[in-house]
Amino acid sequence: MAKKLHYFDVNGIGESIRYILHYGGQKFEDVRYQISGWPDKKVKDALPFGQLPLYEEGDRSLHQSLAIARYVASQSKLLPNDLWEQAVVDSYVMTIYDFWFTKVIPFVKETDAAKKATLKKEILDESIHFFFSRFDKVLKEHNGFFIGKLTWAEFILVGIIEAGNLFLDYEIEKNYPHVKAAVQKVLSLPGVKEYIAKRKVYAL
């Protein structure tokens, strides 16, 4: 069945899905929308809840980035079989998203320059350490992976770090050696590596 991923022409919360698809050798049409032209009313009104990404497989479609990522991960052999292991992976994925949606996104959306600077300072001085020191510890204790082997959680980690670094003009992973190693590991994976070599450099 023909696969299509619809998302903006940035990394954001869509790039992890692209990495997972490329890692699994899944052929898909990478449909991209320019943020400068968004919202495109015709496209937005056709989306189930007005949001990208949207994933299509034949005549069926799926919304919500984590629902899509988890599904394509199952097709790329990145979802463990054991239900408890799946749940532990889910818990880290959702915590990575907590960092994104409760810290980075409020900063991105803030339009008042002084408040924006305050939010950035809080992220750089506190939030990054709170989340990433804990991720680092978990990765250290589990052979470089969240549960001791490669799953889709490492892909979500890398996607959010890259998008965060772009918005914050920072290197989130710099003080966390096990996080940094996980990023390098994912970016060097077969399929991912070749995709990155051909991919444009994202900019704001």
- Residues at the interface with a copy of itself (CB under 8 A): 48-50, 57, 60, 62-64, 66-68, 70-71, 74-75, 83-84, 86-88, 90-91, 94-95, 98, 101-102, 130-131, 134
Q: Smallest distance from the beta carbon of 169 to a copy of itself, in angstroms?
A: 25
Cα-to-chain-centroid distance, residue 12: 6
* Residue whose CB is less far from a copy of itself, 138 or 187: 138
* Residue whose CB is less far from a copy of itself, 68 or 150: 68
Q: Smallest distance from the beta carbon of 71 to a copy of itself, in angstroms?
A: 4
Amino acid at residue number 168: L
CA–CA distance, 109 with 76 (Å, rounded to integer) = 33
* Residue whose CB is less far from a copy of itself, 101 or 202: 101
* Residue whose CB is less far from a copy of itself, 40 or 98: 98
Q: How many CB atoms lie within 10 A of CB 144?
A: 16
Amino acid at residue number 71: Y
> Which residue's entry shows tokens 């990394």?
11
Sequence-distant (6+) residues with CB within 8 A of 173 are 132, 161, 179, 180, 183
Q: Smallest distance from the beta carbon of 102 to a copy of itself, in angstroms?
A: 8
Q: Smallest distance from the beta carbon of 46 to a copy of itself, in angstroms?
A: 13
> Which residue's entry shows tokens 């495109």?
40
